[in-house]
Amino acid sequence: MRPGQVHQYDSDLAAAEGVVVLFTPGFLAPATVEAARVDQPVWRSPLTPTAADGGALDAVLQLLRAEYRRLADLPLEVQIDVVRHLLSVLVLRLTHAQGARETAGGGNETFRRFQRAVERDFARTHRVEDYAHDLGYSVRTLTRATRSAVRSGAKAFIDDRVLPEARRLLWHTGLPAAAVGDRLGFPDATVFTRFFRRRAGETPAAFRARARGTHEARAEG
């Protein structure tokens, strides 16, 4: 997960258990960042490793956790290097792990260019035709490349980026729904509401009330 990127999960995470590893930009070596594409937007579904990969990942994670807790055993500079190397192993293993994930061919340069363009311009335009024109492809080429990579059409891919951002703004800001729609490139509030209702199954106002009500209930509990 990169800072500023929206993630959306279909399942309820209230009972989820796990270990969160946080690190600052620049902590990993540039070679690791390049090999693991750490600085690229994430578009895959959450990874569920196979048994073999899961065991290896868990072993590295346990070593990382143990070394992080033994800060006094080595000089600080050495300890930081140890943690950095173990984190690199973990990230690289995650990059190449096999499991229940969508397979997007590593050589799909067309899709990668489209993905970067959507990440940059999704609040400016939602039209596949605009991205095709800017990138020098036909709409059919973009649609075919996107379907091959993530099993959805190009328009659905754009909408799948817009919707989580709309939810984030509705939940975490006090912007009126019309202002949220304007920030995301919708021509007016009616078009935004129609889009949100079609994709989320409820109006922006209903989502905001439900999301904030659920959050407050959990905080009080």
What would the CATH number be for the domain defined by 109-220? 1.10.10.60
Angle at 182 between CA 116 and CA 194, to 5 degrees: 95
Question: Where in the chain are the domains?
Answer: 1-101, 109-220
* Tens place of pLDDT per residue across the chain (221 aa): 776 666 666 666 677 788 889 998 889 988 888 887 777 665 556 677 888 888 899 999 999 999 998 877 888 889 999 999 999 999 998 888 765 544 444 448 899 899 889 989 999 999 999 999 999 999 999 999 999 888 889 999 999 999 989 998 998 899 999 999 999 999 999 999 999 999 999 999 999 998 877 654 444 44
Determine whether 162 is exposed, middle or buried from the number of CB atoms within 10 Å of its CB (0-12, 13-18, 19+): buried
